[in-house]
Amino acid sequence: MSSINVSTTFDLPNQFEDLQKQLATGSYYVQKVLDLVDINIGLQNHARIEKPKELLDIFPLFYSILIRFDNVSITEHDQAVEILLRLTASEVSEARPGIHLGLSDEDRHSHLNVIKMLSCLIAEYIIRFDNDQTNKSPDVDMPPSKKRKKAKASKTNGESSLTSDSLRDKCLKGLCDIIRSHIKP
């Protein structure tokens, strides 16, 4: 995956798909959407990523996962969300104290780019998970019977099952963490 110049600006797109085009000189864009094999390999290679600034290099991986949303497994979505949330927690804790206190313009610009990228990805995940759940739910919501609730609980051994709803909720919490951090440009 290609590295980008730190002076490149991440502009929030009107449509998520617009990130495949360079909207302005010096703005960040995704040059290539990865195929499913490259997505799987990328998730394995970056499962332990810790430094938020590395997001600048691997943004195309997360972008590709979202573009190919329906073809990516729920487990891979879970992996991607976990990585994004870990990066979010790390970036918020790193940027919050320093963003207003003596950072160089380049470092400040880099932190703000990462925050915008994380926010964009997490917000798009919320939209896609919400749409996924809406498309799968029946027109009339019927509460599950007690037998079905017990059967579902026994299948998951009391653990929460991996669903679009649970992943959307994780993303909502991550986006709230960014908002609560009071990081301003």
The Cα 92–Cα 96 span in angstroms is 6
**For the segment 52-86, what is each residue's pLDDT rounded down to a tens digit?**
778 878 999 999 999 999 999 999 999 999 999 99
Rounded to whole angstroms, the Cα distance separating 177 from 150 reads 33
pLDDT digits (tens, 9 = 90+) for 1-46: 444 444 578 888 888 998 988 777 778 889 899 999 999 999 999 8
| Averaged pLDDT, 161-178 | 91
Tell me the DSSP string of 85-125: HHHHHHHHHHHHHHTTTT--HHHHHHHHHHHHHHHHHHHHH
Answer for the pair 79, 21: CB distance below 8 angstroms, yes or no.
Answer: no
What are the sequence ranges of the domains in the chain? 16-180
* 3 state DSSP class of 27: strand
- Tell me, what amino acid is at 40? N
Q: CA-to-CA distance for 67 and 17, rounded, in angstroms? A: 8
pLDDT tens digit string along 86-98?
Answer: 988 888 887 766 6
**Amino acid at the residue 103:** L
Radius of gyration of the chain from Cα atoms? Answer: 18
Does residue 115 contact residue 99 with C-beta atoms inside 8 Å? no
pTM score, whole prediction? 0.78
With a cut of 50, say whether residue 153 has pLDDT above it.
no
What's the rounded Cα separation, in Å, for the pair 39 and 64?
7
Instruction: Tell which residue, 52, 49, 59, 46, has the closest CA to residue 93.
Output: 52
Closest CA to 87 of 57, 55, 44: 55
